[in-house]
Structure formats: C-alpha cells, structure tokens
C-alpha cells in the first residue's frame, strides 16, 4: 500500500469547498455599510448553517475595517489583524482560530491574500484608502448581502407563519375541549375523555417549535378531531332510510320506462350497473373476485355479517362509479375494483367534508365494502341536492344500520332506475 507522508509546505491548503464558494460568489457588489452586512449575516446564519463562532470571527474582522472600504462597491474590503490579536479578542487558542478561519473560507464568507513571508500587513493613504495589503478580504460578505437578506426575510416569514399556526393550535385545542365538556354534559355517544386526552397531547407536542410544517400537521389533526366532535353534537338533518317508499309499495315509473323490478334482470347482462345475479351468486363470491387476499382477510367476516344493509342487492364497483362520479377523478383510467375504490374513498370523504372519525366508524360498524357503497349513495344524493351535510348523514345512517333500519337496497334500486335510459 502506498503511503504518502504529509509535509509542511508553507502553502495554505485549498479544499473543494473553498473552490466551490469562489465559483458561486457574485462578481459585483453594491456600496453598503458594514453594520447592514453584519446584521443580515446574523439573521441568516442559522438557515445557512453558519456556526455562531464563525459569525463571531466575522464580527471581529469587521471591526478592523473602515467605513470607506464598504462604500466603494467594488474591489476588496481589507483588514490584516494578526492571529495573536484575533485570539485575544475572541478568547480562543491558535487551533480553534485556525479551524474557524478554514470554515469561513469554505463557507465563502472571506478570502485570504497571503504575503510571501506569511505575515499580514497593509498600508492606507492619508484619506484612509487601502493602497496595499496582505490579510483578509471581506468583500465576499458584501457580494452575498442580497442572499443574506433574502434568507433572513424567508426566515422571518416562516417564523410569523409558525406563530400564527401556534395560535391556531391553541384555538382548536380550546374548541375541542369545550365540545368534550358539552358532550359529557349531554351524555352524547363518544369517548370524550379520550378525545380530550388526545387533544391535549397533540397541542403539547408543538413544544416551542415554530416550524410551519410540524405545526401545520398538528393543526390538521386537531381540526379533524374538532370536526368529528362537532358532527356528533350538531343535530343533523333527518335521513330517509327508505327513499323509494315502503317495501310493499309498487315503484312508479314513466310510461316509456320499464319498472325497476323487471328491468333489473339477468338478461340485462352481468356488466349492467346494479344487475341482479342469479340466486346462487352472492356477495361472498363478489368479495372473493374483487378484493385482494390481504384486504379480504381484514374485512371478509365483517362484510358477511353486515349484508343486511344491502338486503341482497349485489352491487359492483362499476355501479359505484356510475352512481357517484365523484370517485372517477381519484381512480383515473384504472379499472374500478373494491381495492381501488377503498383507496379513493379517503379523498372522496374529505371532498364531501366527512371527518376521518365518521368514516372510520362507518367502516368499523358496516364493513369496508358496505361503507364504500354507503359513501357512494351519500355522494349521489348530495350531488342531486337531496342532502346538505354528508358528515351528519353518514353518522345517522350508521346508527340506523346498528338499529337494523337501514335499507340501502332501496336507495340503490332508485339510483339504478335513474341510470336507465328510455326503453324502445
């Protein structure tokens, strides 16, 4: 193995970071003041990853410059304090100073012009203008002043946004806690103590942070809890559990359209939306064909246990998309399957203003496939202007299902009837 012995050459070592900083540096700078540059650097230091001790070094070097050096708008900004002077001013040793100078060079904050002897010195004329020097050039700071100001402005805007989000967290926390108190007083359904605990924990997780991304996630979760609690406590509109009439009442159709009971026959073909299957075909077969094995394992038993919501209406994924076109943008050109519709339901329920809590309750109580069908019927009726609060309606329908009073089959028959064109 080849070994290279490091030898002192008397030359300053140049790193790739130093070369990159030189290339990225603007070639021109406008006249400014050193106080303006130092203030902008201090505000932008943290976002740019500039250590506090490096800023302290720059501050010390600036003290050895003249105001006229910054007012020319071109050339160099010279200073030539010795290492001994810098060490004494900063209270550090030679190794620390050497490290800080190297970091300042790699960060593109300063340049060094070395003399043949390695000493730093300079000369100024009677008007204080530098005529010759060997030492530090601080003009890179002036060249990067617009960058420092832009970064500082962005940081200030982010801080202000973070402050507003912190206020939003406090406001939402107080709203949810007030709803939890009201829920307990009214003996409303729900685990209000858990809602309160979760809310307090979420609000506390903000800590002292003013990072907008972190705080925005907390606000979104608190808003979800708030909307869910509000739906439980807000009286919702009456839900018609039998929108097409009593079970024994004949369906009324126009003279040029077949009754739905006759139209929904196997002769219409299996691809027809809402087509009734032969008696030997059941929803278990449909679930086995359209739902992946992993998803089937999660919901198979629940679907079979809660089929009474559909009362034998054998709905297909194609039919869901036809009665509720709101699903279409979320599935694109993909052939609709129950897996695809379940994924799209997250966006559909959000678009309808249905909280995550209400949707989760529907999936738990009814089963996921039936919950998707329920969501589709609500979307269809909402689009037709029949309901105004989908969030309240889905909660009420889940309650009716638990009471054994929900007849989604009649809703689906009615929606299927509307899809029919005139029969000639």
pLDDT band at 220; cut points 50, 70, 90:
very high
Distance CA(384)–CA(14), nearest Å, equals 72
Residues 47 and 132 in one domain: yes
- The two structure tokens encoding residue 350: 């959000």
Q: For residue 49, tell me if it sits in a domain.
A: yes
Last residue of a domain, one of 180, 214, 233: 233
pLDDT recorded at residue 21 = 59
pLDDT digits (tens, 9 = 90+) for 41-98: 999 999 999 999 999 999 999 999 998 888 876 688 899 999 999 999 999 999 999 9
pLDDT recorded at residue 334 = 75
Phi, psi of 400 (to 5 degrees): -65, -40
Helix axes 283-290, 293-305, angle to 10 degrees: 160
- Residues 81 and 58: beta-carbon distance below 8 Å: no
Q: For residue 23, tell me if it sits in a domain.
A: yes
Residues 268 and 414 in one domain: yes
pLDDT recorded at residue 62 = 93
Q: Is 250 exposed, middle or buried (0-12, 13-18, 19+ CB in 10 A)?
A: exposed
Tell me how far CA of residue 24 lies from CA of 107, 109, 117, 316, in angstroms.
11, 12, 30, 61
Residues 264 and 412 in one domain: yes
Mean pLDDT of 153-181: 91
Q: For residue 3, tell me if it sits in a domain.
A: no
Run of H or E residues at 118: none
pLDDT band at 301; cut points 50, 70, 90:
very low
Residues 132 and 171 in one domain: no
Mean pLDDT of 341-362: 86
pLDDT recorded at residue 88 = 94
pLDDT recorded at residue 72 = 76
Please indicate whether residue 290 or residue 215 has the higher confidence score (pLDDT).
215
Residues 65 and 138 in one domain: yes
pLDDT recorded at residue 14 = 63
Instruction: Supply the DSSP string of 72-138, one letter for each residue.
Output: SSSS--EE---HHHHHHHHT--HHHHHHHHHHHHHTTS-EEE--TTS--EEEE-TTS-EEEEEEEE-
Q: For residue 364, tell me if it sits in a domain.
A: yes
Q: Please state, for a pLDDT cut of 70, what percent of the chain lies above it.
A: 74
pLDDT band at 11; cut points 50, 70, 90:
low
The torsion region of residue 66 among left (phi > 0), alpha (psi -120 to 50) and beta comes to: beta
pLDDT digits (tens, 9 = 90+) for 105-140: 989 899 888 888 878 888 888 877 888 889 999 989
Distance CA(108)–CA(23), nearest Å, equals 10
pLDDT recorded at residue 73 = 66
Please indicate whether residue 41 or residue 183 has the higher confidence score (pLDDT).
41
Last residue of a domain, one of 123, 143, 163: 143
- Residues 416 and 273: beta-carbon distance below 8 Å: yes
Residues 161 and 139 in one domain: no
Number of domains in the chain: 3
pLDDT band at 186; cut points 50, 70, 90:
confident
Residues 128 and 160 in one domain: no
Please indicate whether residue 174 or residue 190 has the higher confidence score (pLDDT).
174
pLDDT band at 306; cut points 50, 70, 90:
very low
* pLDDT at residue 200 greater than cutoff 50: yes
Q: For residue 288, tell me if it sits in a domain.
A: yes
- The two structure tokens encoding residue 263: 């139209």
Mean pLDDT of 369-394: 87
- The two structure tokens encoding residue 103: 């970091």
Distance CA(378)–CA(372), nearest Å, equals 10
CATH number, domain with residue 124: 1.10.10
Instruction: Supply the DSSP string of 270-302, one letter for each residue.
Output: TTSTTPPPPTT--HHHHHHHHS-HHHHHHHHHH
pLDDT recorded at residue 185 = 82
Mean pLDDT of 382-401: 85
* pLDDT at residue 168 greater than cutoff 90: yes
Residues 165 and 281 in one domain: no
Phi, psi of 403 (to 5 degrees): -85, -5
Q: Please state, for a pLDDT cut of 90, what percent of the chain lies above it.
A: 28
Mean pLDDT of 170-197: 87
Q: What is the mean pLDDT of the chain?
A: 77
Hey, is 161 helix, strand or coil? helix
The DSSP output letter for 13 is P
Cβ count within 10 A of residue 324: 24
pLDDT recorded at residue 104 = 92
User: 86 Cβ partners below 8 Å, 6+ apart?
Assistant: 57, 60, 61, 97
Q: For residue 61, tell me if it sits in a domain.
A: yes
Tell me how far CA of residue 399 lies from CA of 90, 180, 241, 246, 392, in angstroms.
72, 21, 11, 20, 11
* pLDDT at residue 212 greater than cutoff 70: yes
Last residue of a domain, one of 87, 116, 143: 143
pLDDT recorded at residue 82 = 92
User: 396 Cβ partners below 8 Å, 6+ apart?
Assistant: 236, 239
Please indicate whether residue 420 or residue 153 has the higher confidence score (pLDDT).
153
pLDDT recorded at residue 293 = 40
* pLDDT at residue 246 greater than cutoff 80: no
Range of the domain at 193: 155-233
* pLDDT at residue 270 greater than cutoff 70: no
Residues 163 and 266 in one domain: no
Residues 74 and 164 in one domain: no
pLDDT band at 27; cut points 50, 70, 90:
low
* pLDDT at residue 251 greater than cutoff 90: no
- Residues 189 and 358: beta-carbon distance below 8 Å: no
Q: For residue 240, tell me if it sits in a domain.
A: no
Residues 264 and 393 in one domain: yes
pLDDT recorded at residue 253 = 34
Distance CA(325)–CA(222), nearest Å, equals 30
Q: For residue 247, tell me if it sits in a domain.
A: no
User: 201 Cβ partners below 8 Å, 6+ apart?
Assistant: none
Q: Is 315 exposed, middle or buried (0-12, 13-18, 19+ CB in 10 A)?
A: buried
Distance CA(196)–CA(100), nearest Å, equals 51
Question: How many Cα neighbours within 13 Å face the side chain of 236?
Answer: 23
pLDDT recorded at residue 12 = 60
- The two structure tokens encoding residue 186: 């009214």
Run of H or E residues at 121: strand 121-124
- Residues 179 and 233: beta-carbon distance below 8 Å: yes
Residues 217 and 304 in one domain: no
């Amino acid at each position: 193995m080849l070994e290279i012995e490091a030898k002192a050459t008397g030359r300053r070592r140049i790193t790739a970071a130093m070369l990159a900083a030189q290339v990225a540096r603007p070639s021109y700078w406008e006249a400014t003041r050193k106080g303006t540059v130092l203030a902008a650097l201090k505000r932008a230091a943290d976002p740019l990853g500039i250590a506090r001790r490096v800023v302290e070094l720059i501050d010390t070097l600036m003290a050895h410059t003249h105001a006229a050096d910054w007012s020319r708008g071109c050339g160099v900004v010279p200073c030539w304090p010795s290492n001994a002077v810098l060490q004494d001013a900063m209270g550090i040793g030679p190794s620390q100073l050497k490290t800080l100078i190297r970091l300042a060079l790699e960060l593109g904050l300063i340049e060094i012009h070395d003399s043949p002897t390695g000493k730093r010195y300079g000369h100024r004329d009677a008007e204080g203008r530098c005529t010759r020097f060997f030492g530090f050039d601080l003009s890179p700071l002036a060249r990067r002043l617009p960058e420092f100001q832009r970064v500082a402005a962005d940081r200030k805007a982010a801080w202000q946004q973070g402050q507003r989000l912190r206020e939003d967290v406090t406001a939402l926390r107080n709203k949810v806690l007030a709803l939890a108190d009201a829920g307990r007083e009214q003996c409303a359904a729900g685990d209000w103590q858990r809602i309160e605990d979760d809310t307090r924990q979420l609000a506390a997780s903000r800590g002292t942070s003013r990072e907008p991304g972190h705080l925005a996630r907390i606000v979104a979760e608190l808003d979800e809890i708030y909307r869910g609690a509000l739906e439980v406590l807000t009286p919702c509109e009456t839900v018609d559990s039998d929108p097409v009439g009593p079970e024994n009442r004949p369906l009324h159709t126009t003279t040029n359209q077949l009754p739905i009971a006759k139209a929904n026959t196997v002769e219409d073909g299996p691809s027809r939306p809402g087509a009734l299957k032969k008696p030997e075909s059941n929803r278990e077969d449909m679930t086995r064909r359209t739902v992946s094995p992993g998803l089937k394992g999660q919901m198979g038993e629940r679907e079979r246990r809660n089929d009474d919501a559909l009362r034998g209406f054998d709905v297909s994924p194609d039919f869901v998309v036809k009665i509720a076109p709101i699903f279409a943008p979320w599935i694109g050109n993909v052939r609709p399957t129950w897996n695809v519709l379940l994924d799209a339901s997250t966006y559909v329920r959000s678009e309808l203003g249905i909280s995550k809590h209400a949707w989760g309750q529907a999936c738990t109580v009814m089963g996921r496939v039936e919950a998707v069908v329920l969501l589709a019927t609500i979307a269809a009726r909402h689009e037709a202007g029949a309901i105004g609060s989908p969030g309240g309606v889905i909660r009420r329908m889940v309650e009716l299902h638990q009471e054994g009073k929900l007849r989604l089959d009649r809703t689906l028959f009615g929606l299927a009837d509307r899809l029919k064109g005139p029969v000639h």
